[in-house]
Structures are given as C-alpha cells and as structure tokens.
Amino acid sequence: MSVQAYQTAFSIWLDANRSRLIYRLGSDTNLAKMARVEWMKMSEEDKNMWRKKTDISAQCLRGRLKKVKRKGTTKKTPSESIDQSDALSSLPPSILVRHILQRVSPAQYAQLHLVSRRFHHLLSNYADELPKRDLTFIAFKIPWEDELTCAGKLGGNCKNLNESRQSKEAPLMALAITGYLRHQKLIGEVRFDKGFELRHVLKPLIHLAKHKRLCMTHIEFKCCMSGVTEGQLKELLSHCSSRLEYIAVGTHADIGLGIITDALIASIVVNGRFRALCLSRPVGLTDLTLDHFPLIDCFHLELKHERITPSGVYRFIQRFRKEYKKWSGHLTICTSLEKPLRNLITPDEVRKNETWYEGKTTEWIFFKTPGNRLPPHLYLGFESC
C-alpha cells in the first residue's frame, strides 16, 4: 500500500472510530441500544454531521484497509474540520453536558436556560444526567381564592411560582411540576393539601419518581384522591420507597377504601426504612398490616379507623415481645377494642391522658421493666373513631 493510500485509509479509520457505536450495531445489542439512545439525544445538526459520515463504510475498517480505493490526501469537508472562528459551537453535547454543565452548580441552571436555545435544549433534554439541588419540602395546594375551582397549583416553598403562575388546567400543572423539579431532587417531605386533586399530577409525579427526583422521607395526603387507583399509588411509591419513612392521611383527606391497601403497605415496608403510618381516615387496612409492620426504632401506627381485630393486636404485641429488645413504638387503635383486649392480655401499666382534641384517652404500656425508666416499651393507645 502506498503511503498516501494508507494515510487516506487511516483518516477514515480515525473518523469511523468516533462512530464505532453505529457500525457495531449489527453484532452487539447492548451497544445497539446505547447507540439508539445516543442518536435520539443528538441535535439535528449533529445527526446531519453523522449522516455525512455514513459514507465511510464500516467494512473499510479492521482488516479491510486494502479495499480502500481512494487516492491522494483526504478531502476535508467543513463538518470534518474545526472551524477556526466557532470552536465552541462544534463542541458536541457530550462535552457540554457531561463535562462542563455537570460541573456547574445546579443553582445556576435556571440562568443558563436563558443563554441560548441550544443551552435550553441541552439543559432540558439532558436534565436526568445533570446534578440536582436538594429540595426539602414541597406542598401541592390550591390557593384560597381558587379553592372552589377544580384546578390545583404548585405551592409550598416555591413562593414565586405560587404567586405568579395561575395554571388552572391539569396539563399546565403537570408541566409546571416537571419544570419545577427539572433540576431538583426532593429529599424531605411532600404534602398534598386539602382540596388538591391528586389525580391531576399523578402521571408527572410517577415520571419524576422513576427518574429519581422524588426521594422523599415523608408523604402526607390531605387531598382529594378520587380517581386514584391502588396501582397508580403503588407505582409512584415503588420508585421512591427506598427512603420513605412516613405516610399520613389527614382528617380532611377525601380517600376511599382500596387505595391504600395492606398489599401496598407490604410493598413499602420491605425496603426497610418505613416506620410510621398515621391514618386519620378509614382506608380499609386489616390485621395483615399489623402482622407485617416493621418493629424498628420509634415505629408509629395510628389505625383507629381500620379493620383491626383484638386478635390482630394480640399477635402484634406477641411479635413485639419476641422481636423488640431494642426499640420503642406506638400503636393507636379504636376504643371499641379496649374491652375485648382486656380478656386477652394485661398491660404493665394503664394511664389516662387528656388531649385538647380527643378529650380523655387511655394508653396501655407493655414490657415496662421495674427500675428501668428508659425504653423499650410498647405503647397501645385507644382513641375514639
């Protein structure tokens, strides 16, 4: 082979080396998948550049260099060489996103969206790959003046959005949520306030949870949950249950039976951090939840409206007796169970409490060791339901 022919072939090799993900498509399915993903992410400008390069046959590579017929030096096309005056625009998205923007604080991303359309598209399309700011709290609520409308509004600590955006339609709201959490990751509490329709935002929330933007520890439902199914809630929580510690349903929540189920709770508790379930509205849980609930430090169960039986509570106390040794916890059930339970078990201590909202309540204490004022104890509270 002449030196010139070799150099031509080698130029082709070098160029094609950069598109190796494309030419290996046929034999490697993982690479094929990766290449398809990369291709979908590319801008039209980049795609056109690669389309031009497809003239380079992959078969010219590896062992077939001798088949290259071109003579003379490589003819350079404008897309193949770096334009002296515009080196930045030729930086591929992979450099801008994975090497430069990756190293800029997420706090600045909002500003960078304004730099140019290209930056806006890069920041939006590659948001999943970029670092996120930690968000400790978010509440979904409707403002007082809109309380009678069916629309909701994103609120909480995003005061500006709450004041400025009057999105009253679900699709807009979904967009607002996605945009709001584009460069943030929820690590604390999410609350759905009274009157808010959860079904309007469930789909974007599932999407965000799937992409690990919702890593909350607490979730509180005070909202309207009509139209929400157990399956949807299960999907949402399945993506963010690894850090979930607390689920509450508030007094004013509009929730029917069969949304929060024993099976749903069982799917959450397997992830290990779940410790508190406070239900101020009946959701239809049974003894099964008591049987599976983890007895970890400061566990807290408020199940006064649920279908709990004396034998279920008895089994729970027996399980605590076998497993506890280290931790204390609290279980609240309906006062109607107090009398039947007296026939099954005797507490170490009974005390009467008085609260401003419930009046007088009774609390039984188990496993109190004489002389040891420290936990572990099991507190069994009775409240009217």
Partner 1 sequence: MIQLCSNDDPPVSFTVPRKAVELSKTIKTMLEDLEGFDMEQTPIPLPNVDAPTLELIVKWVEQHQDDPPPVEKPRVEDDDSDDSDADDDQEPEVVIPEWDKKFLPTDDEQKNQLFKLLNAANYLEIKPLLDIGCKYVADKISGQTVEWVRDYLNMENDYTPEEEAKLKEEIAWAEGL
Contacting partner 1 within 319-338 (CB under 8 A): none
All residues at 6 or more sequence positions from 82 whose CB lies less than 8 Å from its CB, including other chains: 90
- For 138-167, the DSSP string reads EEEE--GGGTTSS--EE-TT-HHHHHH---
CB of 372 to partner 1, least distance (A): 38
Residue 214 buriedness (CB in 10 A; 0-12 / 13-18 / 19+): buried
By the rule CB under 8 A, 121 interacts with partner 1: no
Candidate list 48, 59, 116, 353; residue touching partner 1; CB under 8 A? 116
User: Omega of the bond prior to 93 within 30 degrees of 0, cis?
Assistant: no
Residue span binding partner 1 (CB under 8 A) among the ranges 105-113, 297-305, 335-343, 361-369: 105-113
Span 167-226, contacts to partner 1 by CB under 8 A? 179-180, 183, 185, 210, 212, 215
- The residue (of 97 and 333) whose beta carbon lies closer to partner 1 is 97
CB of 207 to partner 1, least distance (A): 12
- The residue (of 113 and 377) whose beta carbon lies closer to partner 1 is 113
Per DSSP, 75 falls in state P
Distances, alpha carbon 102 to alpha carbons 107, 147, 176, 181, 366, in Å: 12, 41, 24, 17, 54
Candidate list 26, 29, 71, 105; residue touching partner 1; CB under 8 A? 105
Three-class SS state of 134: strand
CB of 49 to partner 1, least distance (A): 12
Span 45-74, contacts to partner 1 by CB under 8 A? 62, 73-74
By the rule CB under 8 A, 355 interacts with partner 1: no
DSSP β-ladder status, 133-141 and 153-154:
antiparallel
- The residue (of 120 and 342) whose beta carbon lies closer to partner 1 is 120
Candidate list 25, 112, 288, 345; residue touching partner 1; CB under 8 A? 112
Residue span binding partner 1 (CB under 8 A) among the ranges 9-17, 139-147, 324-332, 375-383: 9-17
Span 267-296, contacts to partner 1 by CB under 8 A? 271
Per DSSP, 133 falls in state E
CB atoms within 10 A of CB 166: 11
- The residue (of 80 and 348) whose beta carbon lies closer to partner 1 is 80
CB of 80 to partner 1, least distance (A): 6
Which helix H or strand E contains 360, and what residues bound it?
Answer: strand 359-366
CB of 220 to partner 1, least distance (A): 21
All residues at 6 or more sequence positions from 363 whose CB lies less than 8 Å from its CB, including other chains: 350, 351, 352, 353, 379, 380, 381, 382
CB of 107 to partner 1, least distance (A): 8
From the list 187, 256, 239, the residue with the least C-alpha distance to 218 is: 187
Cα–Cα dist 254/62, whole Å: 67
By the rule CB under 8 A, 342 interacts with partner 1: no
By the rule CB under 8 A, 81 interacts with partner 1: yes
